[in-house]
């Protein structure tokens, strides 16, 4: 798994886009048509394979059936893979929100020195392949905590570490947009306790950031392959199941169709997650990628 | 009244008189960030340092023994070169296709723009084994496109899944959308008034692009190129899924070699994987530093 696969939904749209393309040239039409086909044909192929009875010789499948869907979801390995991936996703999102929110809040209201420390480390999962981080974690835990190796908790920690930048950028952007330092100051002036400030002022105001960050962390854990492969390949996640199936594929058609079913489901899940991110950030730039935020801020200034 | 002391900047926090503040100050200043910092040190910083350190440790102490041994093997040299070639090819195509698309999308009406952003967003999210399987289902031996082309009577044999060209096509599935999403914010920098101003000065569209558009956008596009290059070199899931197909000899890539070294090679395995991982790290670090320099220079203009 690469950073690329995890770097999800950035729907950063410049505010001043008044310069519309009113006339589309033939070249532009061709460009967009081929891009459209390039991205949709594989989706259609996967979807068709999940409902095809036999498809080896003709342009379209010989017939259609829902048997593969029923068969795939009664497969214990598939069920457990979905369960594991969901639990991993939830834990990753929950841990990241729980540890990132206090850090960002404190960096904003009390100690600005926290920010550079966090931002430098947020560049690590952004730049280094997850394969390298996972392998490093394997070697490092081999030295300090051999008992943790290959375990589910270690995998959760690793995922929390690689997904934290998404939560950080989302929460930080939400706090900036809400003007959390001033709100928090006002609440404190009104005599609110720190707990009240966090519960009644901070959290409700950064809800879009929390949801966005959580969804992105969840999506990262859902599709990640490299780290789980080197760190804990005995943990059966959706990508691990798919990889085993695609590798052991020897031409028997059933495996191919089951893969198609699982891929289709994964695809829909990611689609829903992206839609959620877009919905929660309507009218606001998602400041998920470094640079995007800077560009956006300069543009406003 | 100490409970209503203003929450403010670090300066006011530092100047605040308090009981035992000398002892508690560092904790009060860093406390809420400690869980995050601890996680990051344990899972990101320490592993990276350990990886680097291990490549220099030989039975005789600190030395370059492992490096010369591993980098001397032709298979590793070949893997490094192919990975860089694949990264460059992938980033070049992403830039050539992605830059015009990003530009045109920022100039679309909101409805159409939302449609394209949604499509690209889903494709960018979709990665790893999923893309590998989607490729096989499309251009594999019984892939849909293969069957369609053969169906219209052409004698078409798709490239093997584990080949350079097949990997390149699959990589672009996530790389083009990522490039577009990365550069879209920058495209907004080129203001509408500048084109109007240029027109007032009777500039042609071509002149506008050569003298204003291209120089301003260049650093951002180059930065996108660098990121895609870095990410492509580190891709493992897609390559793993496609390399396993049909027993063909897969193309040699750094990431695949790391995987094989860890799975099979007991003797030199971890050491070889370590060196290759550090090579990947070095490429990524250099590329990211160049990316930051580029962006900083570009933003000086604004």
**Residue-level pLDDT, tens digit, chain B, 302 residues:** 344 444 444 444 444 445 455 556 777 778 888 899 999 999 899 999 999 988 888 777 777 778 888 888 888 888 899 999 999 999 999 999 999 898 888 887 777 777 888 788 878 877 788 898 898 888 887 788 888 888 887 788 888 888 889 899 999 998 999 899 888 888 877 777 888 888 888 888 888 888 888 888 888 889 889 999 999 999 998 998 888 654 556 788 898 888 888 877 656 677 888 899 999 999 999 998 898 888 887 777 66
3-state secondary structure of A246: helix
Question: What tens digit of pLDDT does each residue of A251-280 get?
Answer: 676 788 888 899 999 888 888 887 787 777
Q: What is the largest CA-CA distance in chain B?
A: 87
Q: What average pLDDT is seen over chain A?
A: 80
Residue A62 reports pLDDT greater than 90:
no
3-state secondary structure of A234: coil
Q: Answer yes or no: are the C-beta atoms of B166 and B253 closer than 8 Å.
A: no
CA–CA separation, A134 vs B236, rounded Å? 12
Question: Quick count: other Cβ atoms within 10 Å of Cβ B151?
Answer: 13
Q: How confident is the model at residue A232 (pLDDT cuts 50, 70, 90)?
A: confident
Which chain B residues touch A294 with a CB distance below 8 Å? Answer: 295, 299
pLDDT attached to residue A176: 84
Percent of chain A with pLDDT over 90: 22
Question: What tens digit of pLDDT does each residue of A80-130 get?
Answer: 999 999 999 999 999 999 999 999 988 888 888 888 888 888 888 888 999
Question: What tens digit of pLDDT does each residue of A159-174 get?
Answer: 999 999 989 988 888 8
Size of interface A-B (CB pairs under 8 A): 384
Residue B39 Cα, gap to closest chain A Cα (Å): 7
pLDDT attached to residue B21: 55
Nearest to B127 among A4, A131, A274 (CB): A4
pLDDT attached to residue B150: 83
Which chain A residues touch B285 with a CB distance below 8 Å? Answer: 127
CA–CA separation, A231 vs A149, rounded Å? 7
Question: What crossing angle do the helices spanning B269-299 and A292-300 adopt, rounded to 10°?
Answer: 10
Sign of CA dihedral B162, B168, B171, B173: negative
Whether B168 has its CB under 8 Å from any CB of chain A: the answer is no
pLDDT attached to residue A57: 67
Residue A6 reports pLDDT greater than 80:
no
Question: Quick count: other Cβ atoms within 10 Å of Cβ A6?
Answer: 28
pLDDT attached to residue B247: 52
pLDDT attached to residue B266: 58
Whether A267 has its CB under 8 Å from any CB of chain B: the answer is yes
pLDDT attached to residue B105: 86
Query: Is pLDDT larger for residue B49 or for residue A200?
Result: B49
C-alpha triplet A201, A206, A212: angle, nearest 5°: 160
Whether B33 has its CB under 8 Å from any CB of chain A: the answer is yes
Question: Quick count: other Cβ atoms within 10 Å of Cβ A282?
Answer: 8
- Between positions 104 and 123 of B, the ones with CB within 8 A of A are 104, 106-109, 113-114, 116-123
pLDDT attached to residue A10: 39
């Amino acid at each position: 798994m690469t950073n690329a696969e995890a770097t999800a939904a950035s729907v950063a749209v410049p505010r001043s886009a008044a310069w519309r393309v009113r006339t589309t040239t033939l070249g532009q039409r061709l460009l967009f048509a081929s891009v459209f086909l390039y991205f949709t044909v594989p989706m259609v192929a996967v979807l068709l394979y999940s409902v095809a009875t036999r498809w080896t010789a003709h342009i379209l499948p010989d017939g259609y059936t829902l048997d593969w869907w029923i068969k795939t979801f009664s497969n214990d390995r598939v069920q457990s893979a979905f369960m594991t991936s969901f639990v991993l996703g939830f834990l990753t999102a929950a841990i990241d929100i729980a540890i990132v929110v206090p850090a960002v809040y404190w960096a904003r209201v009390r100690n600005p020195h926290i920010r550079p420390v966090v931002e430098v480390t947020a560049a690590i999962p952004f730049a280094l392949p997850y394969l390298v981080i996972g392998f490093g974690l394997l070697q490092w835990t081999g030295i300090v905590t051999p008992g943790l190796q290959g375990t589910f908790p270690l995998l959760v920690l690793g995922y929390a570490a690689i997904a934290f930048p998404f939560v950080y950028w989302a929460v930080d952007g939400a706090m900036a947009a809400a003007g959390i330092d001033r709100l928090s100051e006002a609440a404190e002036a009104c005599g609110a306790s720190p707990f009240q400030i966090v519960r009644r002022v901070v959290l409700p105001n950064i809800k879009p950031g929390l949801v966005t960050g959580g969804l992105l962390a969840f999506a990262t854990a859902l599709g990640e392959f490299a780290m789980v492969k080197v760190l804990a390949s005995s943990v059966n996640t959706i990508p691990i199941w798919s990889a085993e199936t695609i590798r052991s594929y020897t031409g028997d058609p059933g495996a191919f169709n089951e893969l198609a079913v699982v891929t289709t489901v994964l695809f829909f899940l990611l689609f829903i997650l992206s839609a959620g991110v877009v919905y929660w950030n309507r009218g606001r730039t998602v400041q998920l990628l470094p640079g995007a935020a800077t560009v956006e801020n300069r543009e406003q200034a | 009244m100490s409970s209503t002391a203003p929450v403010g900047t670090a300066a006011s926090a530092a100047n605040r008189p308090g009981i035992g503040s000398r002892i508690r100050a560092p904790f009060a200043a860093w406390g809420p960030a400690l869980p995050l910092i601890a996680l990051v040190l344990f899972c990101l910083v320490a592993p990276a340092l350990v990886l680097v350190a291990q490549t220099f440790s030989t039975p005789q102490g600190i030395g370059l023994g492992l490096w010369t041994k591993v980098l001397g093997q032709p298979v590793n040299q070949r893997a490094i070169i192919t990975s860089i070639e694949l990264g460059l090819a992938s980033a070049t195509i992403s830039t050539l296709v992605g830059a015009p698309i990003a530009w045109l999308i920022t100039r679309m009406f909101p409805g159409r723009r939302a449609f394209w952003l949604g499509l690209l967003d889903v494709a960018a999210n979709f990665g790893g084994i999923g893309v590998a399987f989607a490729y096989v289902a499309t251009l594999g031996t019984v892939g849909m496109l293969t069957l369609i082309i053969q169906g219209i009577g052409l004698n078409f044999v798709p490239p093997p899944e584990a080949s350079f060209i097949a990997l390149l096509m699959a990589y672009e599935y996530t790389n083009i959308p990522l490039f577009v999403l990365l550069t879209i914010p920058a495209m907004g920098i080129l203001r509408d008034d500048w084109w109007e101003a240029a027109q007032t000065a009777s500039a042609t569209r071509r002149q506008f692009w050569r003298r204003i558009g291209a120089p301003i956008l260049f650093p951002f596009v180059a930065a996108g190129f660098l990121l895609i290059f870095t990410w492509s070199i580190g891709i493992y899931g897609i390559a793993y899924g496609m390399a396993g197909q049909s027993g063909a000899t897969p193309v040699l890539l750094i990431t695949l070699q790391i995987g094989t070294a860890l799975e099979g090679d007991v003797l030199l395995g971890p050491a070889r994987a370590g060196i290759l991982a550090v090579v990947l790290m070095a490429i990524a670090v250099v590329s990211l530093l160049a990316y930051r320099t580029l962006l900083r220079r570009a933003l000086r203009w604004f």
